[in-house]
Amino acid sequence: MTDDLERATREQLRHGLRVAMLVVTVVIVFGLSLSNLVRGLGTFPLPWAQLAAFAVLAAVLSGEAVLLVRKKTWNAARRVAVVAILTASALSYVTLPDGRTSTALDWAFGAANWVGIVVLFDRPFRSAVLFLLAHESVALANLVVVQGFSKEAFARFATGSVTVIGFPLCAAVVAAALGRIGSQAAAAAREVERVRTKEAVAVESHRRRARRFADLSGTTVPLLEGLADGSLRPDDVSVQRRCAIEAARMRRLFAELDTVADPLLHELRHCADVADRRGVEVELDARGRLPDIPVAVRRDLTEVALTALATAESWARVTVIGNAGLVSVNVVADCADSGVPVPATRVSVATYGTEGTVWMEATWQPGTS
């Protein structure tokens, strides 16, 4: 999600900058350059060549507008567009009247540079520099080879190059800088989102732990207080059973904090570990596919197994059966019927005891709570 946010922020900034660059270029090309072309159209030796060159630049700008509306880039067509811009520039330069290079009549000198920057806007900064140098080289070659080199023409060329290269280059620098700022802003937003998420998770985890420890306080705290003040005797069998049950409940509580694929079986294994440490032989079997089970329901489902495992004398067998319509936890053990708390959810509990063996079953139907 954070990567998507960063990408969306960057794309939004880049799109806005492309729109601004296109608007500036359209004003320059269709405003200043077109007016110079129209005013001097009668002085060109080949007017159609100048119109064709202008049509190429206009077509490139129209393509950029279409791409902006569709939120796409030039991709493979970018090279074709750059070649078309340089070709249009060369066509305009070679059909200028003699001695009119870098004058107001040379409308393409100050137009093609901006169109090229528009096409190369989302490319690295060096691409814009290389294009401007190529554009300048085409104009210089026309001045030296076609028009005939003169100090006056070269002075005009050098003076005009300051704006022809400088202004678009400044725009490219600003665009690159704003692009980096956009990336940094997106990264900062991602970091803020990560910190907020981490804080929210920490607060929620603390709240859950506090609630779970509060659930234990109703049974564990009185037991510890009784052992502390001497009202409960450690050698009492019933007290030992209560201690074993509370120990299993605490292990289950700790297991609830773990992130595992099957929480119910994970918590039952922790409960079985308490019995295994007392030398009880435990067999745990799972069948079927368990659905998602809420924490409160898992507590009621594991309570029967927890009680039996904590008080079993030598052996216990736990069977978990699950499908989309029913979850069942069965336990058979050689333990006394210590009683199971009334479920807080819609879990049904059945208990049968005979000759030192107790069979208990807890069932739950998904869709109920």
Give the per-residue pLDDT at 27.
92
Whole-number mean pLDDT of the chain? 83
Residue 172, pLDDT above cutoff 70: yes
Q: Strand 315-322 vs strand 281-288: parallel, antiparallel, or unpaired?
A: parallel
Give the per-residue pLDDT at 99.
66
CB neighbour list of residue 65: distance below 8 Å, 6 or more residues apart: 22
pLDDT-derived band at 149, boundaries 50, 70, 90? low
d(CA 52, CA 85): 11
For the stretch 335-345, pLDDT in tens is 876 677 788 88
d(CA 266, CA 312): 20
For the stretch 284-311, pLDDT in tens is 999 888 888 888 899 899 988 888 888 8
Give the per-residue pLDDT at 5.
57
- Extract the tokens encoding 145: 């080879």
Which is more confident, 349 or 170? 349
Best CA proximity match to 132, nearest among 157, 167, 95: 167
Residue 268, pLDDT above cutoff 80: yes
Query: Of 6-20, 60-74, 193-207, 245-259, which one has max mean pLDDT?
Result: 60-74
What is the chain's alpha carbon radius of gyration, rounded to the nearest angstrom? 41
For the stretch 175-200, pLDDT in tens is 777 667 766 766 777 777 788 888 88
Q: How many Cα atoms occupy the beta-carbon half-sphere of 81 within 13 Å?
A: 24
CB-CB contact of 311 with 332 (8 Å): no
Angle at 201 between CA 196 and CA 205, to 5 degrees: 150
Q: Strand 327-333 vs strand 315-322: parallel, antiparallel, or unpaired?
A: antiparallel
Q: Which domains, ranges and CATH numbers included, belong to the chain?
A: 2-190 (no CATH), 220-364 (3.30.565.10)
